[in-house]
Structure 1
Amino acid sequence: MKIQSVNDQAFAAYGKVVKGFDFSSLLATLEANSEKPADSVIYVPSVDILEAESVFSEIRDNCYGGMPIQIGYCNGTNTKLNCFEYHRDSEIDIAADDVILLVAREQDVIDGQIDSSKTEAFLCPKGTAVELYATTLHYAPCSAKKAEGFRVIIVLPKGTNEEMPSITPKNDEDKMLWAANKWLIAHKDTAEAKDGAHVGITGENIDIIDLI
């Protein structure tokens, strides 16, 4: 595996760089009000002080066409793939630190299974925002440098990643529903798998520690 850039043409299959916005105040608020764990990853779906930033309405109206959104964050230190998730819509990630995104295509999930060799790695530089398309499999960002953590703004439609609705499964995909608007595919060697997530990533649980 090689680490590419979100500015490379290869990233076009997964998403695009979001341009034309000033995210500086939003990122400064994130940095001033959130921790960056050295040995874990934390995710908070919706944060009032981030959603109070003036750019909130611009993201809502320009990027999501006026649909209700939430702004939260994913912070920490990580070098492993562990899982893939996807939503029924795009996710916008805004990097407060250099991070590496591990992604794959939903189209490569066959009968609930995907080999980890389908994964690609892309560096998202500090200050860069990217849209990850609905068909892009992704999970927690990875550290871009050994022993260094990251902070990343996560924008999604309002309610995403909250409590899973109670459903009667009607097909195999329903078994992967893990939270509101979140379908999850886990590697067998993960805490998520032990907690009952659908195990569908075959091959190695990719670790980029030797690439950074």
Structure 2
Amino acid sequence: MLLVLALMGAVAAGAVMLLPHAASIPPVIAGAATGATALPRRKQDETAQPYVKFMTLGIALARERLVQRMHLDACTWSDGFLHGMETSAQLRVFVHDLKLYLLERHPLAAETKTINAIYSDVEKAMDAALDVQTRIDEACRQAEREPTDDELIARRQAFGTALAQCGHLLRFTYVYGRRSENEELRALRAKATSNDAFHHPVLPPQRRWFDRWLTR
């Protein structure tokens, strides 16, 4: 397709360059240079029709390939971003922070609706994964045993579904975000996977009234 576009561009450029000298150009050369443009109007339309169809098909295929490539790039990026998320708690913290981050930067009603809808699906998947994990842990505790292979598979599948739903929110971030936001997103991920996200006290430790005298 690029070759056809290049040839068409070359013909157009040549026609523009030769236009001031059209009076001195022999008819045979002019016909060879301009091709179908030297033919009658009806003949020109009939001749150009296959080329128009070919160009339309080529543009449609190129657009389809571009959309597919962008989707694959977004999937690869989101999968890499979720690599290392090992627990439902980590995923829940990250997705909640990501939702707030996106809502702050995409205040339009349509975008807000999309973000909240995706987040709702992620929450349902995370709740389902937590139910599976809780049920398996309770069964293992009562029977004083390790999880069976089927239970491990069920737990992994449920968590994988939650990860996939989270990937939808990340793909929204990829499509509508900016490259400069990558560091901020990585900071959200680091916060979710850090132990401080679960063990850091909500309030700073209170100082006693006489501490200021001890530190002098």
Provide TM-score, normalisation by structure 1. Answer: 0.23
Structure with larger Rg: 2
User: Whose helix fraction is larger, Structure 1's or Structure 2's?
Assistant: 2
User: Whose strand fraction is larger, Structure 1's or Structure 2's?
Assistant: 1
Provide TM-score, normalisation by structure 2. Answer: 0.23
